[in-house]
Amino acid sequence: MKTIRLILLQLLFFFLMSIVAQSLDEQLFIKWVCYSVLISALTYLLYKYFTKLEYILNGFLINLFSLFILFELKKFVEYSLGLKSPKYTEVVFTSMLFSFIGIAIYLGGIVFANYLKKFILKKEVNK
């Protein structure tokens, strides 16, 4: 999977997350199910992307910054349209820092799962 295609799919992910957030206000259960399906799909796409990479660090950094920028753009657009609370402007740097750390931990978990799978498969082949 090419990097540009993955970034476009990430953009689609954030677009769908915004639609779910705005359209399913009353149906909390359905909203959380949609969130979990979207996050699972993104996780699967990223996992498949990392399994095909030769240099995982480059892919990790590209995805880290693209997810971070898209997430912050989503928050800014929601705030600009009046859909987000005014607290967003009070602690922008702290909010951005925690977003960056959270995305890094999320991607780190996917990379760890990828290395764990390679390690287990390598161990099974050597037996």
Annotate 37-53 with DSSP letters as a single string: HHHHHHHHHHHHHHHT-
pLDDT of 40 reads 94
pLDDT of 1 reads 60
Q: Average pLDDT, stretch 85-112?
A: 84
- Cβ contact 103:68 at 8 Å: yes
Range of the domain at 122: 3-126
Q: Over the stretch 24-69, which tens digit does the pLDDT of each residue have?
A: 877 888 889 999 999 999 999 999 999 888 888 888 999 999 999 9
Stronger pLDDT, 80 or 108, i.e. the higher one: 108
Task: Look up residue 41 and give its two tokens.
Answer: 């799909």
Split into its structural domains, the chain has a count of 1
